[in-house]
């Protein structure tokens, strides 16, 4: 999650952009959704902008418009409620308590990754001191890190077994090769991390496994010098451990099966 901030003087242009309008004033259908509107009565962009500009006019502040775009990584899938929570926490941590400032937030749908636009009236509703703008970059980095840790966005996506995640272009060939190699090893009934590692090594794939108390806790790989995390090849350490245990059970059942069948086989001649 990252945030970028700009400061301006005109709420009309800023809010209309947030609401999904082009520079020429034409609305782009399905581009934006209004998520938050604190301390404003209007819900249309023209009315919202007018209210915020009016509030700002009571102050000597020449640049009352605070605009922050907050973006998530492609693999992060925040819900509507989580985006709203993020926006509220962002404002609070930045020093613009939503109870004391006019705040409007839109979600945009014009890019592959999810992102929102946060508009804050730097002038508080009680006529106090305008929101500080110094060190915006450093504050954004710190606040985004805090919110990410608090809400755990890196953990939002369910990692489905065998499903390939988004990776850098230079990792895609390695990702596919390792994914197929693991699936093949599991089909061959590999039952331990050592067996998986041996089979993958035969195909030029290096494995790095961490085993604690007999269970796989961490996995990463490297193919032709390209490193890649276990979760990015379709198998987290936990998922791979589960498959190995399932294979072990199948192997044990197969070993017991002949004896079991021999006991139940009827005797000839009786």
The predicted-structure confidence for 224-260, as pLDDT tens digits, reads as follows 888 988 888 888 888 999 999 999 998 888 888 765 5
2-155 under CATH 3.10.20.30, yes or no: no
- Tokens 């508009």 belong to 119
E strands of 201-254, at which residues? Answer: 205-212, 215-223, 226-229
**Cα distance between residue 27 and residue 24, in whole Å:** 9
**27, 7, 32: which is closest to 105 by C-alpha?**
32
pLDDT of residue 155 exceeding 50, the answer is no
pLDDT of residue 80 exceeding 60, the answer is yes
pLDDT of residue 172: 80
- In this structure, of 62-71, 171-180, 242-251, the range with the lowest mean pLDDT score is 171-180
Query: 196, 253 in Cβ contact below 8 A?
Result: no
Name residues whose C-beta falls within 8 Å of residue 245's C-beta, 6 or more positions apart in sequence: none
pLDDT of residue 156: 40
With bands split at pLDDT 50, 70 and 90, how would you rate the model's confidence at 269?
very low
Query: 133, 29 in Cβ contact below 8 A?
Result: no
Provide mean pLDDT across the span 210-216: 89
pLDDT of residue 183 exceeding 80, the answer is yes
With bands split at pLDDT 50, 70 and 90, how would you rate the model's confidence at 270?
very low
Provide mean pLDDT across the span 68-73: 94
pTM (2 decimals)?
0.58
User: Domain locations in the chain?
Assistant: 2-155, 169-264
pLDDT of residue 108: 95
The predicted-structure confidence for 7-24, as pLDDT tens digits, reads as follows 999 999 999 999 998 767
pLDDT of residue 241: 92
Mean pLDDT value across the chain? 87
Percent of the chain with pLDDT over 70: 89
DSSP state of 21: B
The predicted-structure confidence for 104-152, as pLDDT tens digits, reads as follows 999 999 888 999 999 999 999 988 999 999 999 999 999 999 998 888 7
With bands split at pLDDT 50, 70 and 90, how would you rate the model's confidence at 162?
low
pLDDT of residue 139: 94
């Amino acid at each position: 999650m990252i945030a970028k901030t700009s400061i301006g003087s005109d709420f009309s242009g800023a809010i209309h952009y947030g609401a999904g309008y082009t520079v020429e004033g034409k609305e782009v259908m399905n581009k934006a959704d209004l998520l938050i509107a604190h301390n404003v009565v209007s819900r249309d962009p023209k009315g919202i902008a007018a209210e915020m500009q009016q509030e700002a006019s009571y102050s000597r502040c020449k640049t009352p418009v605070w605009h922050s775009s907050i973006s998530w990584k492609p693999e992060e899938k925040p819900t509507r409620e989580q985006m709203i929570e993020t926006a509220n926490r962002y404002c609070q941590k930045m020093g613009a308590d939503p109870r004391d400032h006019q705040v409007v937030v839109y979600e945009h749908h014009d890019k592959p990754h999810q992102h929102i636009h946060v508009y804050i009236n730097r002038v508080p509703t009680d006529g106090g001191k305008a929101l500080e703008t110094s060190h915006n970059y450093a504050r954004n980095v710190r606040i985004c890190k805090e919110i990410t840790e608090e809400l755990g966005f890196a953990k939002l996506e369910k990692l489905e077994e065998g499903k390939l995640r988004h990776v850098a272009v230079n990792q895609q060939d390695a990702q596919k090769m390792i994914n197929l190699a693991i699936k093949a090893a599991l089909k061959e009934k590999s039952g331990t991390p050592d067996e998986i590692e041996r089979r993958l090594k035969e195909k030029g794939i290096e494995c790095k496994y961490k085993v604690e108390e007999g269970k796989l806790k961490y996995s990463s790989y490297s193919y032709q010098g390209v490193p890649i995390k276990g979760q990015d090849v379709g198998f987290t350490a936990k998922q791979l451990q589960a498959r190995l245990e399932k294979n072990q059970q199948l192997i044990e059942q197969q070993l017991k099966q002949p004896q079991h069948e021999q006991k139940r086989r009827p005797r000839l001649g009786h």
